[in-house]
Amino acid sequence: MQNNFPSPIVSEKDLTVYENYLNKDSKPAVKPLNRTFVPETLTNPIFLPAYLKNHIGKLVKIESLVGDCLQARIGTLLEVGADFAVIKLNGSCQTLIIEGKGIKFITVIHDNDFKKVNYY
């Protein structure tokens, strides 16, 4: 008997073959695990983003290269990603996202005293 179903089922053997055929095709697809991939650059502190995650909430001065000019921004570090940093600018209600490729210098001000920023 060929396994081209639907075909007439005339015996117990045909029924068994048909059940096996249905079970073979009705197996559930393999579900992916509920794990999210976190790159090592965000977990291992030898990389800059993981090291900066330890300083979230602190006042930082980030100097980045824009064209040929080095521009500094001062604010509270809110978030760090694999290739970006997010700061809340000091003295305003604006959030700035800085691309990681352009960052040249990062100064972390540990006592969060804005008056001491000019010393750094």
How far is C-alpha 15 from the geometric centre of its chain's CA atoms?
A: 51
Q: Are 49 and 55 in contact (CB under 8 A)?
A: no
Q: Are 105 and 62 in contact (CB under 8 A)?
A: yes
Give the pLDDT of residue 1.
46
| Over residues 17-26, mean pLDDT | 72
From the CB of residue 52, how many other CB atoms can be counted at a distance below 10 Å?
23
CATH 1.10.260.40 fits 40-113, yes or no: no
Per-residue model confidence as pLDDT tens digits over 37-69: 888 888 899 999 999 999 999 999 999 988 899
Name the residue ranges covered by the structural domains of the chain: 40-113
| Over residues 64-80, mean pLDDT | 92
How far is C-alpha 22 from the geometric centre of its chain's CA atoms?
A: 41
Give the pLDDT of residue 33.
66
Give the pLDDT of residue 9.
72
| Over residues 76-88, mean pLDDT | 94
Per-residue model confidence as pLDDT tens digits over 85-94: 999 998 888 9
> Residue 91: left (phi > 0), alpha (psi -120 to 50), or beta?
left
With a cut of 90, say whether residue 10 has pLDDT above it: no
